[in-house]
Amino acid sequence: MLDGEGVTKYFGGLAAVSNVDFHIDQGEVVGLIGPNGSGKTTLFNLISASLVPKPGIITFKGENITGKKPYQICRMGIARTFQTVKVFANMPALQNVLIGSFFGTSARVSPAEAAREGTEALEFVGLSEVAATPAKDLTLANQKRLEVARALATKPELLLLDELMAGLNATEVSEAMELVKMIRDKGITVVMIEHVMKAIMGVCDRIMVLHHGEKIAEGTPQEIANSEKVVEVYLGEQTDA
Amino acid sequence: MTIAGIDYKKAPVLGLPLVILVLLAALPLYREIYDVILMTSILMYIILTVSWVIFSGATGYISLATGAFFGVGIYTSAILGGELPLLIVILIGGLFSSCLALLVGALTLRLRGIYFAIFTFGLVELIKHVLLWYEITFTHTRGRFVIVVDNETIYYIMLGIFVVLMITAYVIRRSRYGLALRSIGEYEEAAAHMGINVTMVKVITFGISAFFMGAAGAIMATRWTYVDPYIAFNALFSFSPVLMAIFGGMGQFYGPVLGAAIFAYLEEYLITSRISIELGTFTLKVSELYMLIFGIILLVAILFLPNGLIGLVEKVWRQISGGEREHA
Amino acid sequence: MITFLDIVIAGLLLGGLYALIAMGLSLQYGVARVLNISHGEFIMLGGLSTWALHAAFGLNPLIAVAICGPVAFLLGFIIHRVLFKKLLTSSPSLAIFESKSMLASFGLLFIIQNIALLIFGGQIKAYNFLNSPVSIGGALFGANRMVAFGFAVVIGLAFYLFLARTRMGKAIRAAAQDPATAGLMGVNINNVLAICFGFGAAMAGIAGVLISMIYPVHSAMGLEYTVIAIIVVVLGGMGSIPGSFIGGLILGIIGSIVTYFEPGLTLAAYYIIFAVLLLVRPTGIMGK
């Protein structure tokens, strides 16, 4: 459903993402891992059109989406969350989600419909109780859930989750894993950037590994766990520090 | 609870504004013409400030071009004044300003806020220069006379512009469009990724705010009766709305209105004041000091009143009522 | 007959002044992150005080450079310490600081301009200095313009060397790149920011002295120079000192060309360039 060919992005002289090919099938849950600075979030930014690949081509459901604007990407059915939470701080949680319902789809949505969908989305992620609370007063874990609800409200076919589990304790991580499974069960394809290995291994059908902007490995969780190359990259990073 | 951003509990508050409106509409009947003229000035500043806040307050992009849009309206009046019916001229003044805003917005609102700010900053000076050149080169006169309109008509037109503006601001705030606008102000990148065409929303809002500035300029010109590029394109009109909004507080309604009203009145008071200060051989007339005073007040406001007067009042109120907010 | 070369030379002479003004602003924005739209007012102060000193004491303007420069530096330093530093501590993010400081400098603009208006009055003032023409390759240029150009180049070069070679210069460059880390490395950030702001103001003041040697001055002259400085800074690349220097020279040449055809349209020409720049390459010549 989502294909990338030779996706590259330079910042000055440094290649943040270098010649990455990827292929995401519908219904999959794909993990994207790699040491810090390996280009994972940059890749997300390239897909969601915060940045434009140069060179490289990205296609979604057969259509070339390279060079489109972020709002167009969203309306086509790709939604995302952010590594640093970007909720609308002074708006109540429900209103945050309403933004997604109102503007995230190409179809026109009535206020009543949007309200209904918004409430459903909040319920889905478990935030019904705090619907009226300003987003800035929510805990970090809840803010991350809010981002997910907001993204889901745009009725995506593909959801990009950027470090959903970062900063969460063990219980919260399990809850988040459940949430991802529920999203998958709804028929939404998921690509998730994660450092929390337990989550990646437990939820993903397939994993891609980036290092210094290049894709160095791809396969099932089992294959990745056993891959010498991957282990070396992670261990190597540790000893460098 | 809010549904789609519409707070159904606020509807009865419509009563108070209506009363004020009636009082204002009847003003010429029970006050001297001097007060009518003063109120016209106050309304003008309120219009400039609220228009400015509709865009800059909502999106966070600081426009320093208010003087340019105001001036375009003034010159439209000067040029078309006698040729077309007054209301049409005012409409056209607003439209010309809008067009300029749309052009500038399309060019600069795709970029970081700082580029927008500095581009708008230079606009007043630029247009002034071009007009001066034009007048020297082609018309060989400096400045123009504007048609004369009686003070009461001027007042009512200004009042009309004010009412339309407030209704527009209200409609925007309550609408889906206003929701998009606010989300841009909260976090533009997130808003863009939620399907909002942020550039288009910014540019259109900028155009809307400029319309009212131009219309206000068009009618104000008829009171001054003579305008030239220096009078019409004055950085003071870019500065005052900023001062008034920051001082009053950037919330959508009461803050800017309060700030504008206070400063318009203060300016009138200072300009007509006969107080002077003796400093050795220097005699400082307060009437010449008002711009200096305003500059100082702006600095004080930025330093010590981050949420403006309204913010200060709210803070004090919260201390007094000892309120606590619910947490998640 | 005026040749193209004459126009270019005249442009360079003008450009030297532009470069000086822009470098000052670039320094203030690049390091202290203050977009100082009252920059032109410092130029005005330099110009008006030179006129006043010349009118009252017959003071040689070149000596005024030595007076106005340090005074302007002091003024800028104090203003930064008192005003902008406080804003820095009360701003939760850099973006908010940039907005607030720009607005504060807007207030400063009105304060300085009106103080000058009160002290000097609103009329245009001028004096004659080094008006005698000097011949370069057959064309005549005012000696005062050449002196101004010379000063601008010398100051520009001196400052560039200062940034590149001295310890303080390195501290400034470090602070411009990454204030937090520079602070951790032992650079007294507060001083560095204020010093840079002061230097920027000093450059403006000196530019004002030089300008007063050539052109008339008045209390409202600042705004136009601020706009020009901004355009040059964007042209050269925001925050790049060498960029501002080159950009200034380029804009000066363009100004000279436009003046040859239609003197009243120079600012319009600059603005068209500004608009084109924002369309195709907002980062400017030396920008990243």
Q: What would the pLDDT profile of B277-318 be if each residue is shown by its tens digit?
A: 776 666 677 767 888 889 999 999 888 887 777 777 777 777
Task: Report which of residues B245 and B14 the model is more confident about.
Answer: B245
Question: pLDDT value at position A103?
Answer: 93
Nearest CA in chain A to B174: A111
| Residue B272 clears pLDDT 90, i.e. is over it | no
Q: How confident is the model at residue B324, as a pLDDT?
A: 46
Nearest chain B Cα to C267, which residue? B126
Query: Residue A96 above 90 pLDDT?
Result: yes
User: So what's the ipTM on this one?
Assistant: 0.89
pLDDT digits (tens, 9 = 90+) for B24-75: 888 877 888 888 888 999 999 999 999 999 999 889 899 999 999 999 999 9
Q: Is the pLDDT of residue B134 over 80?
A: yes
B85 burial type by CB count under 10 A (0-12 exposed, 13-18 middle, 19+ buried) = exposed
Best of C227, C276, C277 to mutate (most B CBs within 10 Å, chain B): C227
Q: With a cut of 50, list the residues of chain C below it in pLDDT.
A: none
| Smallest Cα distance from B174 to chain C, Å | 27
Decide if A88 and B196 are in contact by the 8 Å CB cutoff. no
Instruction: Domain of residue C125: give its range.
Output: 4-280
Is residue C288 in some structural domain? Answer: no
Does the beta-carbon distance from B176 to A142 stay under 8 Å? no
Share of chain B above pLDDT 70, in %: 90
DSSP, residue by residue, chain A: -EEEEEEEEEETTEEEEEEEEEEE-TT-EEEEE-STTSSHHHHHHHHTTSS--SS-EEEETTEE-TT--HHHHHHHTEEE--SS----TTSBHHHHHHHHHHHSSSS---HHHHHHHHHHHHHHHT-GGGTTSBGGGS-HHHHHHHHHHHHHTT--SEEEEESTTTT--HHHHHHHHHHHHHHHHTT-EEEEE-S-HHHHHHH-SEEEEEETTEEEEEE-HHHHHH-HHHHHHHHHHHHH-
Q: How confident is the model at residue A195 (pLDDT cuts 50, 70, 90)?
A: confident
**Residues in B 151-190 with any Cβ partner in C closer than 8 A:** none
Measured between alpha carbons, how far is C113 from C38 in angstroms, rounded to an integer?
9
What distance in Å separates the CA atoms of residue B282 and residue C275, rounded to the nearest whole number?
Answer: 46
Give per-residue pLDDT as tens, B82-102.
Answer: 889 999 999 999 999 999 999
Q: What is the residue-wise DSSP string for B226-293? A: EE-HHHHS-THHHHHHHHHHHHH-SSSSHHHHHHHHHHHHHHHHHHT---EEEETTEEEEHHHHHHHH
pLDDT of residue B281: 65
For residue B229, pLDDT beyond 70: yes
Domain annotation covers residue C258: yes
For residues C224 and C268, give the distance between their C-alpha atoms in angstroms, rounded to a whole number.
Answer: 11
Q: Which of A69, A95, A142 sits opposite B2 (nearest CB)?
A: A95
Distances (CA, A) of A155 to A143, A179, B10, B303: 19, 16, 32, 45
Task: Report yes or no on C285 lying in a domain.
Answer: no
Interchain contact, B195 vs A89, CB within 8 Å: no
From residue C230, alpha-carbon distances to A27, C104, C136 in Å are 53, 17, 31
What pLDDT was estimated at residue B309?
76
Residues 148-207 of C with CB under 8 A from B: none
| Total domain count, chain C | 1
> For the domain that residue C39 is a member of, what is the CATH number?
1.10.3470
Q: What is residue B7's predicted lDDT score, i.e. its pLDDT?
A: 53
CB < 8 Å to C87, chain B: 302-303
Indicate whether C179 belongs to any domain. yes
Does residue A19 or residue C41 have the better pLDDT?
A: C41
Domain membership of residue C287 (yes or no) is: no
Asked if B328 and A80 come within 8 Å (Cβ–Cβ), the reply is no
pLDDT level of residue B276 (50, 70, 90 thresholds): confident
The mean per-residue pLDDT over the stretch B120-145 comes to 90
Provide the number of CB pairs (under 8 Å) joining chain A to chain B: 96
Facing C267 at nearest CB: one of B119, B129, B289: B129
Give the C-alpha distances (Å, rounded to integers) separating B209 from B45, B87, B284, C112, C177.
14, 19, 38, 30, 37
% chain B with pLDDT above 90: 50
Q: Quick one: pLDDT band at residue B5, thresholds 50, 70, 90?
A: low
Q: In C54-91, which positions are buried (b, 16+ CB within 10 angstroms) versus exposed (e)? A: beeeebebeebbebbbebbbebbbebbbebbbebbeeb
Residue reference for tokens 């007054």: B86
pLDDT, residue B249, reads 83
Task: Write down which chains contact chain C via at least 3 CB pairs under 8 A.
Answer: B
Which alpha helices (DSSP H) does B175-235 contain, by range? 176-193, 198-224, 229-232
pLDDT at A241 over 50: no
Domain contains C286: no
**pLDDT in the model for residue B306:** 77
The sign of the dihedral angle between the CA atoms of A194, A197, A203, A205 is positive
A95 CB neighbours in chain B (<8 A) are 2, 5, 179
Domains, chain B, in order of start with CATH, read 13-321 (1.10.3470)
User: Is the confidence at residue A144, as pLDDT, over 80?
Assistant: yes
Model-level pTM? Answer: 0.90
B1 vs A: CB within 8 A: yes
